[in-house]
Chains A and B, each alone.
Chain A
């Protein structure tokens, strides 16, 4: 971790009494060499991070920084090369660690031959939600994402924005304590973005934790309590958004560019 990171890493330490929802310890993710004689590709170096209960945490970094690899480990899609990751104290490779998670992937196309309510019923059953409760939750999340009027229509007839909203609905079907969002506003119109912001704020007010990666830094600045910036597989900075903005006397986009080492060309 860089000096900046150490300086700003006060966020998690400020709330020692809170439960660590996500704990990443010395995480390294490497991919096998692509050609003979090459070394392995290091996606994540030695990442340590903690996200506590009830916070909205932004996970930022330029493309290829290692965000996706970290998310993959967190969700159990791939094992870490070294180190470990825990969700609610459970190592992520155990499926039960995902019982309290909601995950919205970036740009996913759901089963086209299902309707919205059938899709949600399917995902809800995977969580073993009792039938009556599941139907109530389906009603509630479909209303929340404004898809209630089209709940019986097949997903293949949905627009891109509607697909993203059904994605959000499936992520909320188990009433998760931790929501992991990967570019949640990608493909959404301004109204859709506002809706996502509202949902995140609402979840926060309910004491839920939201962990999301995004390139929309304006959005991150609006909704996040804390952020972490990684670049080239290393954690460059972690801290409270308000503290960082105060410390650097500028907005998040400028801070981000500075931290990842981008020097803007002098313009005329």
Chain B
């Protein structure tokens, strides 16, 4: 595990020494502050809309950070040839995959905390309260959803050599799951066979990211908390997908011939 943690540390260092995170944070912060300072149509419940838009921005920003950071990890190591001195140390390819995953996941976790801290300060100033349990659940669910996204992108990074191609394909897949994932089974029910069956299979195969996304509505509408058991179950569901995707990544990557 030592090598995995060392590699993860490097990924985290990369995140805070590059500009990507700061650009997204500043953009989100400016939009949040602007929205927070304007009183639209003298609407008392304007805070709800501000929360909705800001949470959407945080979700998008964290997705961009997760996809872009992860997509470049292994291809950049190969392109800049840093992978050779790295693998010439007592490091296995499995540890490299594990370290990259952990690093990206933790880095996204840190970015999420910064985003939500800012969000909580702005919304808290408007609402005059800070529902910590709700925040914890939203961050927890989003972080686990990002784990699936990162594992998906990591698999893509060993299948596609260009990070941009991988990022585009992964963004399309993630958006498709978020928008259509929850409707596939209904769509399957009205389709003739074999298309209906294929859609049903797809429904049960894909990781349902939209389930994690839906939790944000509880924060917007001040709904009741999720059960803590459900939170753990969601984490286990995500962990299962992460495990499968990481094994697939390792299987592909260990067969790759790295040309010096």
Contact = CB atoms under 8 A, between A and B. Distances in A.
Interface string B28-50: 00000000000000000000000
B258 A95 contact: no
A108 interface: yes
Contact of A77 (B6, B82, B92, B258): B258
Contacts of B6: 122, 125-126
B39 to A, nearest CB: 43
Interface string B2-45: 11001001100110011000000000000000000000000000
Contact residues of A: prevailing secondary structure: mixed
B91 interface: yes
Given A72-B260, A109-B80, A96 B90 contact: yes
A103 B2 contact: no
Interface residues of B, number: 25
Interface in B190-225: none
Contacts of A174: 89
Contact of B82 (A99, A108, A127, A180): A108
Contact of A126 (B80, B91, B260): B91
Contacts of B86: 126
A109 B81 contact: yes
B90 A105 contact: no
B10 A77 contact: no
Given A77-B258, A78-B257, A126 B89 contact: yes
Contacts of A107: 81
Contact of B90 (A31, A99, A111, A182): A99
A75 interface: yes
B84 interface: yes
A111 B9 CA distance: 13
B9 A167 contact: no
A231 B92 CA distance: 31
A111 B79 CA distance: 12
Nearest to A100: B90
Contacts of A217: none
A98 B258 contact: no
A182 to B, nearest CB: 7
Interface string B235-260: 00000000000000000000001111
Interface in A96-146: 96, 98-99, 101, 103-111, 113-114, 118, 122-123, 125-128
* Chain A interface extent, by class: 35 or more
Given A122-B6, A125-B2, A126-B3, A76 B84 contact: no
B76 to A, nearest CB: 9
Contacts of B3: 126
B132 interface: no
B260 A95 contact: no
Contacts of A76: 87-88
A71 interface: yes
Contacts of B10: 111, 114, 122
A110 B82 contact: yes
A238 interface: no
A76 B81 CA distance: 15
B87 A113 contact: no
B128 to A, nearest CB: 41
A48 interface: no
Central interface residue in B84, B87, B88, B259, by most chain A CB within 10 Å:
B88
Contacts of B90: 95-96, 98-99, 126-127
A99 to B, nearest CB: 5
Nearest to B84: A105
B85 interface: yes
Nearest to A114: B13
A220 interface: no
A232 interface: no
Contacts of B80: 108-110
A171 interface: yes
A95 B9 contact: no
Contact of A106 (B82, B88, B260): B260
A71 B260 contact: yes
A201 interface: no
Given A104-B85, A171-B85, 10 more contacts: A77-B84, A77-B257, A95-B90, A96-B90, A101-B88, A108-B81, A108-B85, A109-B81, A113-B18, A180-B88
15 contacts: A72-B259, A95-B91, A98-B89, A99-B90, A103-B85, A105-B81, A105-B260, A108-B80, A108-B84, A110-B80, A111-B82, A118-B13, A125-B2, A128-B2, A174-B89
